[in-house]
Amino acid sequence: MPKPKIKILKLNPCFFHENQHLQDVLDKVNDRYPIKERGYGVVTLQLNHLLFAIPLRSHPKTKSCFVLNPQKKSGLDFTKAVLITDKAHLSDVPFMIPRAEYDFLEKNSHRVTVKFEKYVTKYCRAVEKEDINILQSPDYRFSTLINYHKALGLSRRSKQRVLAERSS
């Protein structure tokens, strides 16, 4: 099996302007969360014909991440992954990270893909089974996957249940 090609890009500001309705996305465009000047670095990953952009973050707050540098505590935060439906939302300008982190990421691209796929699968199963323990856990409570139930093949009713549980 060929290794997935890792691309580190930036999300264009148009992504945030066109997706203000999304819940729990980092750097929403409003008074409280202005767009970051240096951009929003993401790793793109294809999963079941869906293109996801997984943000690079310092100090990810959950275990649902792929650590790139334990000393700097940087990595990919699966909880804030977004679905890319328009390639214009991705900048052609690469997002620069330290060479050692890039090499580590490229070397482990298959592991990243497998770990993210497990993260998404666990979410989908928890939604289908209405497993509140998983959905309320730190790894899923504020996951952006809530925005993509239709694309993930989950029912609209399931999204309403998850939202209701979040607010309780």
Report whether pLDDT(115) > 80.
yes
Per-residue pLDDT reduced to its tens digit, 47-90 = 989 999 999 988 777 788 898 887 777 899 999 999 999 999 99
**CA-CA distance, 80 to 45, in Å (whole number)?**
13
- Longest C-alpha distance within the chain, in Å? 46
β-pairing verdict for 50-58 and 65-69: unpaired
Q: How far apart are CA 93 and CA 147, in angstroms?
A: 27
| pTM for the whole structure | 0.85
Two structure tokens written together for 28:
């929403």
Q: How many angstroms separate the CA atoms of 39 and 94, rounded?
A: 10
